[in-house]
Amino acid sequence: MTRVYNFSAGPAMMPEAVLSRAREEMLDWQGSGMSVMEMSHRGKEFMSIASKAESDLRELLGIPTGYKVLFLQGGASAQFAMVPMNLLRGKGKADYINTGQWSKKAIAEARRYCEVNIAATAEAGKFTSIPARDTWQTDPDAAYLHYTPNETIGGVEFHWIPETGGVPLVADMSSTLLSRPLDVSRYGVIYAGAQKNIGPAGLTVVIVREDLMGEVLPGAPTLFDYQVMADNGSMYNTPPTYSWYLAGLVFEWLKGQGGLQAMAEINRRKAGKLYDLIDASDFYQNPVDPQCRSWMNVPFTLADADLDATFLEQAKAAGLLTLKGHRSVGGMRASIYNAMPEEGVDALVSFMKDFEQRHG
């Protein structure tokens, strides 16, 4: 069997060791005679899987007491609604930072429930930078401030945590959670779709400060109430059990790699290799301000867009897949999450150099 290097933005590569472990346990999980996907979510076998997954995640991120960890469905997009439903708590306004397509989607959904104050936007610069903090027009009476630390499509990333003056900070960390250490205590809510750094699609991880739960908007669906889901251990209804199990295997794998500090060093090095090549070339270009380039998603264009199709075709033949940029941006995009081995980035860099020599 030959595995390719899959640079998809999500669903993305998973660690090969995790997939091998899942294959070994597919028909019989640890002598139970059952596959995990066949187990009752309330049975002792799955309850042990769920408990260990949460424990490992808490250890990896150093999640303090006073925070609940929820394993939900609906993707990060469902959180665009769940955040205002749970965090407005009698207030009518929330602050949002607009740095790209996912920020815009979160803003559009929040406007269904409250007045949205766009405290800062990078739209005028085509989302290639982050507005300086001293230009933000935040509201001290806002229910919360929401931002997207990494814009998957545009490849723009915050390398700092915004100070909010006591207003709860909310982050869509779908593309960055578990890629490096994180001070969870700085946040009110962190949420992330699993299909990038955590596991397969179908699971959403939410980390929520306990004092922000318990005052949901009237009429909100029961399943959208953080307090209800926390009180029921994320099992008010049947959770995405197999995705939860695979996420747990990823957490184990991360611990085996040396934890998030070790992953940060690897991820910094992987991204550096790609950016160094792009910056040294007249053939490739990255449009993002170097001060806020993403470690996880590296967009780039070719000097001659007519070569895009040839680049993608030859890259695929070389075992380098899913490099086409998002339709709203064009060009190429290499997503290099935790599970992308450094050898995959090396292979891409080598291919890009060779392609430039032949077509530049």
Q: Which of 29, 102, 244, 253 is catalytic?
A: 102
Q: Which residues lie across from 302 on neighbouring strands?
A: 284
β-bridge partners, 205: 71, 192
Q: Is 353 exposed, middle or buried (0-12, 13-18, 19+ CB in 10 A)?
A: middle
Q: Which secondary structure element, helix H or strand E, spans residue 95, and what is its range?
A: strand 93-98
Selected catalytic residue, list 29, 56, 104, 196: 196
Does residue 11 have a cis peptide bond before it, meaning omega lies within 30 degrees of 0?
Answer: yes
Cα–Cα distance for residue pair 173/81, rounded to 1 Å:
16
Phi, psi for 242 (deg, rounded to 5):
-70, -40
Catalytic residue among 29, 68, 95, 172: 172
Give the number of other Cβ atoms within 10 Å of residue 253's Cβ.
18
Could you tell me whether strands 189-193 and 169-172 are parallel, antiparallel, or unpaired per DSSP bridges? parallel
> Which CA distances in Å does 284 have to 136, 150, 274, 295?
33, 22, 10, 18
Comparing CA positions, the residue from 37, 16, 28, 12 lying closest to residue 245 is 37
Rounded Cα gap, residues 34 and 213, in angstroms: 36
Spatial separation of the C-alpha atoms in residues 138 and 50, rounded to whole Å: 39
The verdict on whether 270 is a catalytic residue reads no
Residue 28: active-site member: no
Strand order in the sheet with 189-193: 67-72, 204-209, 189-193, 169-172, 145-147, 93-98, 115-121
Give Cα 126 distance to the centre of its chain: 22
* Catalytic (active site) residue 95: no
Active site residues: 102, 172, 196
